[in-house]
Chains A and B, each alone.
Chain A
Amino acid sequence: MSTWRQHALYWGVGLGGWLLVAGWALRAERTLRDGALITGYVLFALMLALALFNLRKRFIVLPLGTIRAWMNAHWVLGAIAVPLYFQHTGSLWPEGFYERALAACFYAVTLSGIGGWALERLLPRRLAHLGLEVIYERIPSEIAALRSRTEALIVKASRDTSSDTLGRYYAESLLWFFWRPRFLLSQTFGGARSERWVRRHSAAVRRYLNEAERRVLDEIEQLALRKCQLDAHYAMQSVLKLWLFVHVPAAMLLIALACWHLLVVHVYAL
């Protein structure tokens, strides 16, 4: 099945299911029954189904469809959960501490999910266009290697030219830059602060160098620009991982609170 057909099928089934549940709940309200009970139970079932996605990923060998199919279903079910939630609560911000905590968790899960969805579409393209591919866990060692190469160049240049200008430049500016990933916010949003910083500092020191030192500075600048690419990878790959640290724990908390909510409703409200 093509990707578009799969999407159409999932969205068709999802929207159909939502209309069915919404209609069922409205009809229940009209007949003086509690429609919130229907939407609440369906919403709870949706939450469990959405949380199953994480579990499914851990048991890849089971013949339960591809993770991509589950991912598509996750998006559709997640999207349907939003209108269902508003139908269930009837407000944007409910009354009472417990209900507000529940709502806050729901919003955190929903917003982080939407944010993650957008990030997963934007950042991979930018990473691909960097022209460099590196595994996240290897970035620190790659940076350390660049730092070592830079230091070796500077030591050699200092010996060859009997000048410590480059050494001073390194100690005052470059060491900070090469120490760890820098300008992460700018890198995440596609800014060029990092490259500008490198070029500005290079230009500042260049006027004090002779021809041999300038050639070394050019090499160092290339290494620094490569470091910028590594920083960009670090920044964007971190964001691609970190949003899940909001989404998944919030989802777990939401399910836990929803369980208690369900219990309380059954004990006191019915």
Chain B
Amino acid sequence: MNKAQLLQRPKRWDAPFDPSMSDYDVDALLARPEFSSLDASRFPAAAPLRGILKNDCRIVRYDPGDIIVREGDYGNSAFLVLSGSVQVVLRPGLPQGLLGRTVEKAKKSAFGALAGMLKRSEISEVRDTSLYAGQASAKARGRERRSSLLDAGERAVLFGAGVDPGAKRDRIPPLAAPFKTAVLAPGALFGEIAALGRVQRTATVYAETECRVLEMRWQALRDVKNRDETWRNRIEQGYRDNQLHNHLVEHPLLAGLDPKSLQAVAAGTLFETYGSYEWYVEYTSGRTEGPEEPAAAAQGDYPDGLLLVIGGFGRVSSGLGHGARTLTYLRNGDHFGLDELYEAWTSGQDCPYETSLTALGYLHVLRIPYSVVAEFVFPRIKRPASRLADAAARPIADDALLEWAVEKRYINGSKTMLIDLERCVRCDDCVRACADTHGGNPRFLRQGQTLGKWMVANACMHCVDPVCMIGCPTGAIHRTMEGGSVVINDLTCIGCGTCANSCPYDNIRLVPIRERDGRQVIDPSSREPILKATKCDLCHSLPTGPSCERACPHGALQRVDMQTLLAKAEAFAG
């Protein structure tokens, strides 16, 4: 039998964000007003403030024109401007084509994918352990791609004809109309909402002058926010100032409102959160009974405002017999209470809620008071074509799929692996295809919960609210920059199992890794195997998309957004 390969058990800061961060850099940061006011004694010994700054932060220098974050990207870090100035592109943002998105280049070519497939090993979970040792230095060499506005093909569109932005200058020229920008000076924090809320970046930010920016992993931001009130207030105020406006302006009901009206709406809007942000803990522990769902609005109560859902999920239900019947569920972009408020506005009489809205896990809503809605919204819209309560007219038997999806929280999935068991011939070509594209290791199990002919297989659903990303000490689990798939960076995964334990659907597995010659890799001190978290990565590096779906000869396997499926099922039943 082969001897085991020894490898020191990885720890949180084995792979610092930037190994070149020095004590001098940390001292300089601690001298800045943003950090000097922090009480270092409030940080635990396991994660001291100095350690956070040194290991979870990095100082990045940008040249004029360099894009720091792009609108629509998913990011796991926030940024603090240290010197120089950066510009944030206001709505409407830059066209996608000008943002330097290089989706195709980021993916493997067909031949690259084929070569990768042919290299598959007969031994399961083989890793080149030399990469783990070298990954810190690789990061230090700065392999990350950085794009610049100056790289854009149609620079005239950005800067106007006759302007040569490439001419040597200290400051990039302002963007031409219709683009609008706002300057962020030293001390400004940006990207924090996307980092903490696990949502897409809402704006593109680029360097106006040569600048130095402190990039903080979301874990660092979380730790600092949780231990300092000033930072906490700053982040929440930032939300009101920036995100609230974006949520309002993006909502179809408020589309086209002039800035003054929008400001009035924003001023009257209340931000409310129901349920627990860490819903998955309660959900996992109380699977059989289901966690209690706090109500944002209760059937029979009189509405005082329009609710816009901006995060999490809400169950719309109405009483039936001795229970509550789920009529639909709401998520980001949906609204609640419009039917009743509109009725009240037209009839001049109070109309109670016909349905209830409860938090499925957590629910972020904006409550726009009735007076504001009556003044700015109702005069501009027609009577809603359908009411949420109309769903109660459908036969009870048609509820099964929806109730199941809500009860099991499959509504969270954006790419749920759904198998039609009446079409599936159990050939396992999907599993084989998955293994072929992942070095011989399938990343899902063709088993799972079933309802009638539907099976939700144990494959990562790439959730709207990816709770697996919460608590990852190294940021190894993250959303891809393009597409937003949730993937795991094997090089920085320390096998702690936080993600696997957090996943309410048991779709992440910890596997012991091996050397190419079959030797198991073990920790020399504990003599225990080194584990790595693995899961479906939606074949994000392949040009063809998920192999499982493409490999199904009968179209039985689909990667679906549950909302789309439920809408189809409802239309079919109707």
**B-binding residues in A (CB < 8 A):** 3, 57-63, 66-68, 70-71, 120, 123-125, 127-128, 133-136, 237, 240-241
B114 at the interface (CB under 8 A from A): yes
Partner of B547, one of A60, A134, A240: A60
Contact A127 B421 (CB under 8 A): yes
B517 at the interface (CB under 8 A from A): no
CA distance A249 to B566 in the complex (A): 43
Residues A71 and B553 in contact in the complex (CB < 8 Å), given A124-B422, A124-B423: yes
Contact A133 B450 (CB under 8 A): yes
B383 at the interface (CB under 8 A from A): no
Binds A, one of B218-226, B232-240, B410-418, B429-437: B429-437
Contact B455 A133 (CB under 8 A): yes
Contact B543 A68 (CB under 8 A): no
Contact B425 A123 (CB under 8 A): yes
Contact B447 A61 (CB under 8 A): no
Q: Kindly report which residue of chain B lies nearest to residue A123, judged by CB atoms.
A: B425
Q: Can you list 30 residue pairs at the A/B interface with Cβ under 8 Å?
A: A59-B117, A60-B117, A60-B436, A60-B544, A60-B550, A61-B110, A61-B436, A61-B437, A61-B544, A62-B113, A62-B114, A63-B110, A63-B544, A67-B429, A68-B553, A120-B554, A124-B422, A124-B423, A124-B425, A124-B426, A127-B421, A128-B421, A128-B422, A128-B452, A128-B453, A133-B447, A133-B450, A136-B426, A240-B426, A241-B427
CA distance A59 to B547 in the complex (A): 10
Contact B551 A57 (CB under 8 A): yes
Residues from chain B with a CB closer than 8 A to the CB of A57 are: 429, 551, 553
Contact A68 B422 (CB under 8 A): no
B468 at the interface (CB under 8 A from A): no
Residues from chain A with a CB closer than 8 A to the CB of B547 are: 60-61
Contact B422 A66 (CB under 8 A): no
Contact B554 A66 (CB under 8 A): no
CA distance A57 to B554 in the complex (A): 13
Contact B426 A237 (CB under 8 A): yes
Q: Mark B113-149, 1 if CB is under 8 A from A, else 0.
A: 1101100000000000000000000000000000000
What size tier do the contact residues of chain B reach? 35 or more
Q: Kindly report which residue of chain B lies nearest to residue A233, judged by CB atoms.
A: B426
CA distance A68 to B550 in the complex (A): 7
Q: Kindly report which residue of chain B lies nearest to residue A6, judged by CB atoms.
A: B555
B542 at the interface (CB under 8 A from A): yes
B196 at the interface (CB under 8 A from A): no
Residues from chain B with a CB closer than 8 A to the CB of A62 are: 110, 113-114, 544
Partner of A68, one of B425, B446, B452, B554: B554
CA distance A61 to B543 in the complex (A): 8
Contact A61 B429 (CB under 8 A): no
Q: Kindly report which residue of chain A lies nearest to residue B111, judged by CB atoms.
A: A62
Residues from chain A with a CB closer than 8 A to the CB of B555 are: 3, 68
Contact A135 B446 (CB under 8 A): yes
Residues from chain B with a CB closer than 8 A to the CB of A71 are: 553-554
CA distance A120 to B117 in the complex (A): 29
CA distance A187 to B549 in the complex (A): 30
Q: How far is the CB of B113 from chain A (nearest CB, A)?
A: 4
CA distance A240 to B550 in the complex (A): 20
B424 at the interface (CB under 8 A from A): yes
Residues from chain A with a CB closer than 8 A to the CB of B428 are: 136
Contact A61 B114 (CB under 8 A): yes
Q: Mark B204-238, 1 if CB is under 8 A from A, else 0.
A: 00000000000000000000000000000000000
Known: A124-B426, A134-B447. 16 other contacts (CB 8 A): A60-B437, A60-B544, A61-B110, A61-B117, A61-B542, A61-B544, A63-B543, A66-B550, A68-B553, A71-B553, A123-B425, A124-B425, A128-B422, A136-B428, A237-B426, A240-B426
Name the residue among A60, A67, A68, A124 with the largest chain B CB count within 10 angstroms.
A60
Q: How far is the CB of B528 from chain A (nearest CB, A)?
A: 27
B363 at the interface (CB under 8 A from A): no
Residues from chain A with a CB closer than 8 A to the CB of B553 are: 57, 67-68, 70-71
In chain B, positions 379-437 with a C-beta closer than 8 Å to chain A are 421-429, 433, 436-437
Residues A61 and B113 in contact in the complex (CB < 8 Å), given A67-B551, A71-B554, A135-B446: yes
CA distance A133 to B457 in the complex (A): 11
CA distance A57 to B447 in the complex (A): 22
Q: How far is the CB of A203 from chain B (nearest CB, A)?
A: 32
Name the residue among B544, B549, B556 with the largest chain A CB count within 10 angstroms.
B544
B552 at the interface (CB under 8 A from A): yes
Residues from chain A with a CB closer than 8 A to the CB of B551 are: 57, 60, 67
Q: Mark B446-484, 1 if CB is under 8 A from A, else 0.
A: 110010110100000000000000000000000000000
CA distance A175 to B299 in the complex (A): 58
CA distance A28 to B159 in the complex (A): 68
Contact B429 A240 (CB under 8 A): no
Residues from chain B with a CB closer than 8 A to the CB of A128 are: 421-422, 452-453
Contact A67 B550 (CB under 8 A): yes
Partner of A240, one of B113, B421, B427, B437: B427
Residues from chain B with a CB closer than 8 A to the CB of A67 are: 429, 550-553
Residues from chain A with a CB closer than 8 A to the CB of B423 are: 124
Residues A240 and B425 in contact in the complex (CB < 8 Å), given A59-B114, A60-B551: yes
Residues from chain B with a CB closer than 8 A to the CB of A124 are: 421-426, 556
